[in-house]
Amino acid sequence: MSAASAVEVDEDENENEKKDLAKYYKVSSEVMGFTKGKSVDGASAVLSRFDFLYPTSKTLDIKDENLKVTLDEDGDSLVVRKNQLNKKEDVLLIEHQNATTLNLVGEQVWAAALFLADFILQNHSIFKGAHVLELASGVGLTSIVAAMFAAKVTITDIDVGEILELIRRNVDRNSHLLRGEVDVKVLDFFEQTTIESVCNSMDNVTVLLAADVIYNNPLTDCFMNTVLRLMSEPPNKTLYLAMEKRYVFTLEDMDAVAPCYEYLLDRLEWLRCQNLSRVEWSIEMLASPCDQYFTYERSKHLVMWRITSRLKTL
């Protein structure tokens, strides 16, 4: 199940509301359908609001010193609502699918994308002024948050269905939040020509992002090969990889296991041993990566890895 849900609206919805969706969602608590986008299987896209809370920061020009994320009785972080305190909140409007076929899962919103967006908000100094590249962005939510701070964000995904156009629409409808330049490019982990095209136009990319891009072993192999290719080029780069461990019960193990995640761990060890004459790798899982600023159900199985490549002087 994806991280957002929505209800449909009639196709003859008031045209004035369509022209001013951002203003409408500032005052509406509804999550509404949106019939402009369609996936390749003909399903109508929906438009959802994703409320978030800004962290306290002078660099964000927020004067309220009490702005913070609070904890519930179980110690989990919660977003403080406006009816509780006068805090700085905002909204992303994201067009997406509630459900898709496997080859179009990028058209859904997944919890790992919101998890990574939380990380960006809390650690925005990392992204300020940087050129950021997101791999397999899906609907573009995480990249849009990064573009609130970065000088430039390159958003990539496969050219299937209308994923790339969907990303462009989401960037346009949230453009009032963005500080950086945004570019959308094709990148297919299975197509070397697209990888080389992105590699040749990275323009001093220093930060890479990826969220929930792994769900089978062949894809993991191609993803890690792509990471190796991109991160072996100057300048030094850091990849923040967020994903959710997905457990299945197997008769062989007689237990619930996360085979895709276990395979990722194996591939991370593989990466650590690659291009050692040129690259020094640092690969670590972040123990407590960030507080929660978006409103969603955060699973304890969400994890984040930081992968850094430092090029050696020859």
Question: For residue 64, what are the contacts with CB-CB under 8 A and spacing of at least 6?
Answer: 56, 86, 87, 88
What does the pLDDT read at residue 145?
97
Residue-averaged pLDDT of the chain? 78
For residue 39, name the pLDDT band (cuts at 50, 70, 90).
Answer: very low
* Predicted pLDDT at 61: 44
Q: Model confidence over 26-38: pLDDT tens digits?
A: 323 233 333 344 4
Report pTM. 0.77
- Residues 51-66 have a mean pLDDT of 58
What is the secondary structure of the chain as a DSSP string? --S---B---TT--HHHHHTHHHHHHH----EEEEEEE-TT-PEEEEEEEEEEPPP-GGGT---TT---EE-TTS-EEPPPTTTS---EEEEEEEE-SS--GGGGGGS--HHHHHHHHHHHHTHHHHTT-EEEEES-TTSHHHHHHTTT-SEEEEEE--STTHHHHHHHHHHHTGGG--SEEEEEE--TT-HHHHHHHHTT-SSEEEEEEES--SSHHHHHHHHHHHHHHHTSSS-EEEEEEEE---EEETTTTEEE-HHHHHHHHHHHHHHTSSTTTEEEEEEE-SS-----B-S---TTEEEEEEEEEEPP-
Q: Does residue 90 carry a pLDDT above 70? A: yes
Lowest mean pLDDT among 14-28, 192-206, 235-249, 287-301: 14-28
Name the residue with higher pLDDT: 230 or 2: 230
Average pLDDT over residues 220-225: 96
Q: Please answer whether residues 108 and 138 qualify as being in contact, where contact means their C-beta atoms are separated by less than 8 angstroms.
A: yes
Mean pLDDT of 211-237: 94
